[in-house]
Structure 1
Amino acid sequence: MTGLLADPQAVPVEVRPYLTELVRRTREVCGSSLVSVFAVGSIALQDYRHGRSDIDVTVVVDPSLPGPVVRELADSLTDQTCPATGLELVLYDADFAARSSAEAGFRLNLNTGPLLRYHATYDPSGAPAFWFVIDRAIGYQSGRLLFGRPVREVLAAPSHEDQLAAVLDSVRDHSRGVGHLADNRILNGCRAVVFCRTGRWVAKYAAGQMLSSSEPEFRPLVDRALRSVELPRSQAWDLPQDEVRDFLDRVREIVERTVRNADG
C-alpha cells in the first residue's frame, strides 16, 4: 500500500498509512482527473506533532471533474478515520491552482476528524481568503508531494504583497481569539513576524523559538506558548488574555509597517 505515496519517507510514520489510504480513495473517486495530491501545513514544514497537529492536504484536479464527484470525494474522506486531530483538505481546479491569486478559489474545503468541527463547503465566495493564500504559499515553498505531478508544476505562489496582506488578516483574526487556542495565537503571531523579516514560511514552533531569542519583552509569554504546544490539544494551557492581546497588538504593528514599506 505504501507504494501509492510518491515518497513515504517524506511524511511522518504516524500518518503514513492514513495518507496512503487518502491517496487511494482520492484516485479511486477522481480517476484520470486527479492531477496532484500534496501535504502542506505542519507536515510540509516538518513540525507535525501527533496529538496536536492537523493533517493539511491540497488536491488539484482537472476542471472537468463534475461537481457530484467532488461531493463524493468529501463523503469518502469523511468516512475515513483520521489518526490526527483532524483533516483539513482543500481541492482546487488545476487552472486556478496554476495562477497567482489572492482569492480563496477552492472547489472543496473539507474539515473532518476527531477534534475538528465538521464542514464541507463548495463555494469559496464567503470564505476568508487569507488561510487559503497562506496554505498555497506554504505549499509552493515546502509542499510534500503525495501523488501526481510535482507541486511547482501545478501550483503558483501568491505574490509577496498578497502573502503579506494574508498575514495581516491572519493576525487580525487571531487577535479576535474566536476558535483559536491561546498558544496557537501566540505562535501564529511569531510566524507572522518571521515571515515579515525573512520572506520565508517556517513552522510556528521554530518561529516561537526565534522570537523568544530576539524579543526579550515577550520571552516569558512565548516560552509558555512553546511549552503548551508540546502538549496534546486537549491539555493546552490557558494564557493571560491581556498579555496575549498586547503581544498580538505588537505583532500587528510590525506587519502593518511591513505592508506599508512594501507598498512603498
Structure 2
Amino acid sequence: MFGPLLSAADAVALDSAVIPRYLSHFSSLLLEMMLPYEAAKVANLGCRTGHIDSQVLEKLQNATVVGIDASPAAIEAARARGPASAGAPPSYMLHDGGLPLPLSPGGFTHALSVHPLCPAGERQALLSELRRLLVPGGQVLLALPLRGSFPELSDMGRECALKQDLSSLSTAIDAASAARPTPESMTQEFEALGLIDVEVDVRLIAVSFGSGREFLDDPVARLAVLPELSAQIDVDAAVSEKLLRYIHEAVSKYWSEGAFELTVNVGCASGRCP
C-alpha cells in the first residue's frame, strides 16, 4: 500500500527525479486543498522520503507532522532532511503498511496520502484508516491518478493480451480501468464514510520523455508509474511479468526515436470529519 521498498539509491532517485517530474503534481494539488487549522497535527501515510512534509509545515504554522512508511531507506532519507522550519521537525515511523496503523484514533487534524500504490479493492480500507485518525472537523486528503490516466500503457497491455492470447489479462486491464476513481466516485466514497464538505480537484498533465527508452530508464517509470500499474491490474505474477516485459519491448519499439508522453489525470479529494 505504501509502495515498493526502496534502496538508498532509490531514495536518492525519488528525490532527484520522481518527485520533481511526477509526484510534485500530486503534492502541490493536495497542498492547495489543505485547510488551515490551529496547532495542526498531520499524519502522512506512505510518506516515502518526506517530500511534502516541509511544505506542510510552511503552510500550517506551529504544526507537527508524523510520517509513516514501510521502507527503511525512505524513512532514513526523510529523517536526513532535518528541520524544515523553526518549528518541530517531522517525526517518522517505520511500519509494514498493514492496517490499522499504530496511531491513536482521533489524534490528528489532517490525515493524508500522496499516490498510494493500492488496488481499488484496498482504497476503501485506506480511506477508513485516514478517517479513523481524525479529530472532529479534521480533514482527509487523498491524491492519486484518476480514471483516464496512463492510456498509453493500458493500450499496450491490451495489445499484449491479444497477441499472447491472455484473456485473463484483457479482463483485468478493463476491470482496472473501470475501477480507477472519477471525481464523482471519489465523492461517493468519501461521503459513504460520513465525511462532509467533499471536494475533488483534477489536473490533466502530460509527462514527457525524449524517447520510449528514456521513459523506461527513468526512475519515474521504475519507482512510480509501472508499480502503480501493476498494483491496479489483478493478475498472477507470471502474467504480470509478461505484461511488463511486453510494455518495455513495445515502448522501446514504437517510440524508438520520437518523444513519449504519458497522460495522467492528477486528482485530489478532500473531506472533513463532522
Q: TM-score, normalised by structure 2?
A: 0.26
Q: Which has the higher contact order (CA 8 A, sep 6+)?
A: 2
Higher share of residues assigned strand: 2
Kindly indicate which of the two structures has a greater share of residues assigned to helix: 1
